[in-house]
Amino acid sequence: MRRAGAVALALVVAVAASAAPAQSVVEEGAPAHPLVEEGALAPVTRPLRPAATSVVGTGTRASCTSRAVVRAVARGGRISFDCGPDPVTIVMRRTAKVVNTSSEVVLDGGGLVTLSGQGRRRILYQDTCDRRQVWTTTHCDDQATPRLVVKRMRFVDGDASRADEGGGALYARGGRLRILDSVFEGNRCARTGPDVGGGAVRVLDQHRDRPVVVRGSTFTGGRCSNGSALSSIGVSWRITSSTFSDNRAVGRGANPARPGTPGGGSGGAIYLDGNDIHLALDRSTLTGNRAREGGGAIFFVSNDRTGTLTIRDSRLTDNPSAGFETLPGIFFLGASRTITGSVVR
């Protein structure tokens, strides 16, 4: 692969270009996820629990505890917080885990609630293929529920550095995920590995390949081998009015890992890998993100070259790629990329 040096390029007007096929720096095909193995236990057949409303806290800071959050998430439904009139930080003693019989889980912090992993643990977890959270179908990687929404929340100091899949603040597999008006700061995952990613958020599988929605949110200070804000395999994203800054992909050796290296280092802010995947980035800002290998801002590889990248009315500046890129701060392999009304330099 040809390495790109320092390039200064401003795209301020409509630009549309198609990337020619080239050697990929990632392994061909996303990893398979077994659904039903021979001799495996059958899924539990249970009706979905209707969405309920619950409140964490009884009006004081002291009443808003990690235990209350964990229990509310396990119950599912719409969750609000009553912790008093001032901003509050809830230190999570355990990871809050979604139970797969919930039809939806909505956490609404009202702009006042921070959940902290204390640099010790992941904060929020959903996995429809995790039998410990109730395995409900034989198509766990494509089921419609739970629908997980985080809204007007702050997630800080989440840590998944000891987990294989990343997602320091939030890990989601299956169902649907929406992130609205929320803030992610200082979240971490493993520092090396060719395909681990998601200092803040890691996603695998979404119902009917529908995109993850991110709107009005901020991602800063993430550190991970790859994709230190967002990372996914086989997942599309629709990101609007959001900001990414000071996120760093700190792995070394790319994907597949060069001989003698542990692998990783791509997608300072965003790392997307898979086949038929699509990223739409609208009215967003990516600045000051870095990658030790490729894509200081965005690393996007569609292994079967069907994926598309669309950037509209956005600003991507000062996102250095120490190894390789196809545009300043971007490494792209796919069917087409379209950039309109944006600055990329």
| pLDDT tens profile 196-243 | 999 999 999 999 999 999 999 999 999 999 999 999 999 999 999 999
In 3-state terms the chain splits into helix, strand, coil percentages (rounded to 5) of: 5, 40, 55
- pLDDT for 51: 60
- pLDDT at res. 1: 37
- Cα–Cα dist 96/73, whole Å: 6
Residue among 231, 64, 224, 50 at smallest CA distance from 146? 50
Q: How far is CA 233 from CA 10, 88, 236, 301, in A?
A: 29, 34, 9, 10
Do 344 and 319 contact (CB within 8 A), yes or no?
no
Q: What is the pLDDT of residue 138?
A: 85
Rg value, the chain, Cα:
19
Q: Please calculate the CA angle 291-22-244 and round it to the nearest 5 degrees.
A: 25
pLDDT for the residue 28? 25
CB atoms within 10 A of CB 91: 13
| pLDDT at residue 46, rounded to an integer | 53
Distances (CA, A) of 257 to 151, 239, 260, 261, 262: 37, 29, 8, 6, 6
Q: Say whether the peptide bond before residue 50 is cis (omega within 30 degrees of 0).
A: no
β-bridge pairing 243-245 and 230-233: unpaired
pTM score, two decimals? 0.86
Question: What SS3 class is residue 233?
Answer: strand
Q: How far is 288 from 317, CA to CA, in rounded Å?
A: 7
Sheet holding 248-249, edge to edge: 159-160, 188-189, 223-224, 248-249, 290-291
The token pair at 29 is: 């095909």
10-residue stretch averages of pLDDT, the chain, 345 residues long: 35 34 28 32 53 89 98 97 98 98 97 98 97 90 95 98 92 97 98 96 96 98 98 98 98 96 98 98 98 98 98 98 98 98 98
What phi and psi, each to the nearest 5 degrees, are found at residue 134? 80, 115
Within its chain, how far is the Cα of 107 from the centroid? 17
